[in-house]
């Protein structure tokens, strides 16, 4: 499958991605030869049954695959740079600053015992180097922008 307008530069370009997992029963392929491109400003929805590889694609892009997983072949390029050729530190820096993920399960995404504003502010402190106070102000503005009533 391929996304993006003709001539548009892909912000994310996944080519021939194959990922397998080591299991007690042997190696199981979660992805075989998956390709797609997303242009800046474009949205792509991955749809499929449970176990069809949607999460594996996202985890591979984010460099968060488990130890049992092997990226057998393919490339993942972000803004024209092959992520596999970057150092682990550079991939980590991209992961909070330019590339993000929101997990489907709210208990792995948000901590119900902490205010949402603090959780939205945390990556701004960690990845953008903002002060906690400045990050909280920016987080409240973002919550207001998406229409949450009384974001404070």
Write the pLDDT tens digit of every residue in 135-151.
Answer: 999 999 999 999 988 88
What pLDDT, on a 0 to 100 scale, did the predictor assign at position 114? 85
What pLDDT, on a 0 to 100 scale, did the predictor assign at position 2? 45
Q: What is the DSSP string of 39-83?
A: ETT--------TTSSHHHHHHHHHT---TTEEEEEEEEEETTEEG
pTM: 0.73
Considering the chain, tell me which residue range(s) the CATH 3.40.50.300 domain(s) occupy: 10-101
pLDDT > 80? residue 102: no
CATH number belonging to domain 10-101? 3.40.50.300
């Amino acid at each position: 499958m391929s996304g993006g307008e003709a001539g548009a530069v892909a912000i994310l370009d996944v080519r021939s991605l194959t990922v397998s997992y080591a299991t007690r029963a042997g190696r199981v392929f979660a992805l075989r030869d998956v390709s797609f491109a997303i242009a800046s400003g474009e949205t792509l929805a991955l749809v499929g049954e449970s176990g069809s590889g949607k999460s594996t694609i996202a985890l591979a892009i984010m460099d968060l695959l488990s130890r049992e997983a092997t990226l057998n072949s393919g490339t993942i390029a972000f803004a024209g740079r092959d992520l596999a050729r970057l150092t682990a530190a550079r991939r980590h820096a991209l992961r909070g600053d330019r590339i993000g993920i929101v997990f489907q399960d709210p208990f792995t995404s948000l901590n119900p015992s902490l205010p949402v504003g603090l959780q939205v502010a945390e990556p701004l402190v960690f990845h953008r180097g903002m002060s906690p106070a400045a990050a909280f102000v920016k987080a409240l503005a973002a919550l207001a922008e998406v229409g949450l009533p009384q974001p404070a």
